[in-house]
Copies of this chain bind each other. A is one copy, B any other.
Amino acid sequence: MNTLELLNQHRSQRDFTTQPVSTETVSQLITTAQHASSSIFLQAYSFISITDPALRQQIAAITTMPFIQQNGHLLIVIADQHRNATLARQQGLTPELLGGADRFLASVEDATLASQNLITAAESLGLGTVVLGSVLNDAAKLIELLRLPKLTMPVFGLLVGYPNGQNELKPRLPEAAVHFTNGYQEPTTYTAALADYQQTLQQYYQARSHNARQADFTQVIRGALLSKTPRRELLSVLQQQGFLNEAN
């Protein structure tokens, strides 16, 4: 499969075989992740491998997702300006700017660019992956468990393993809804394309082999707004970590 086909075949994988991911393979994935671009080359991210079963169980409890307690290698991805701040202080520099909105977002973006590289690298080796936003259901607890210092913040988890079965491809929004020219376009300018998509997505949800249900894109949005874990405390957790304070 060439690279374009590989990317176009991506689907999240939550069910893994018991085959472990070797330490060498994890290192290879991290190395490839690091080749992604980073903002002004600050490389402002870290990965934490979770190999301690008791710690993994505590993280799984935060997510409330039972599959996280099972197979696959668990990584927590960290937006990390602490390393840069420490190196700055060693040079007598004041690192407060690294906690501002600009450098905080750059660290989240660095972490995410690297993570997508890791996902693609994993899939090219026949592994499957899933991004776990649910590790933020109790961000303060996760920060405590991983002993995360100021100017670090968990972004999401990644579970990587050998796939047990395969999901269907999930249809994405039409290009008309996500690609504009020379300025933003309101959804009212692409209503027909959206209506087609609602039908396509409805068919996908009805026909899929796991968790088939009546739903369309409106239901996805409704689910987000009626979430049982709205994470309203996330801004204050970020501020406690030294990010996004007015003074930065």
Contact present for A234 and B105 (CB under 8 Å): yes
Q: How many Å lie between the Cα of A145 and that of B47 in the bound state?
A: 37
Number of residues in A with C-beta < 8 Å to the partner? Answer: 109
**A48 interface residue per 8 A CB criterion:** yes
Measured CB to CB, the nearest residue on chain B to A10 is B35
Q: A184-B149, A221-B84, A227-B97 are in contact. Are A46 and B178 (CB under 8 A)?
A: yes
Tell me which of B6, B39, B87 contacts A133 (CB under 8 A).
B39
Contact present for B105 and A152 (CB under 8 Å): no
Q: A43-B173, A116-B112 are in contact. Are A179 and B30 (CB under 8 A)?
A: yes
Q: How many Å lie between the Cα of A180 and that of B37 in the bound state?
A: 21
Contact partners of A183 in chain B: CB under 8 A: 48, 145-147
Counting every copy of the chain, the complex holds 2
Contact partners of A106 in chain B: CB under 8 A: 133
Q: How many Å lie between the Cα of A152 and that of B83 in the bound state?
A: 30
Q: How many Å lie between the Cα of A119 and that of B231 in the bound state?
A: 31
Contact partners of A244 in chain B: CB under 8 A: 235, 244
Residues of A within 8 A of B (CB): 2-4, 6-10, 12, 27-28, 30-32, 34-37, 39-43, 45-52, 55, 78, 80, 82-84, 86-88, 91, 93-95, 97-98, 100-103, 105-106, 108-109, 112-113, 115-117, 119-121, 124-125, 130-131, 133, 136, 145-149, 152, 155-156, 170, 172-173, 175, 177-184, 186-187, 194, 217-218, 220-225, 227, 230-232, 234-235, 238, 244, 246, 248
Contact present for A8 and B37 (CB under 8 Å): no
Contact present for A36 and B10 (CB under 8 Å): yes
Instruction: Return 16 A-B CB contacts under 8 Å, by A number.
Output: A12-B37, A47-B179, A47-B180, A48-B184, A49-B182, A52-B182, A88-B221, A88-B222, A91-B221, A93-B222, A98-B224, A102-B230, A106-B133, A116-B120, A146-B183, A149-B186
Q: How many Å lie between the Cα of A179 and that of B95 in the bound state?
A: 22
Least CB distance, A154 to chain B, in whole angstroms = 10
Contact partners of A172 in chain B: CB under 8 A: 31, 34-35, 43
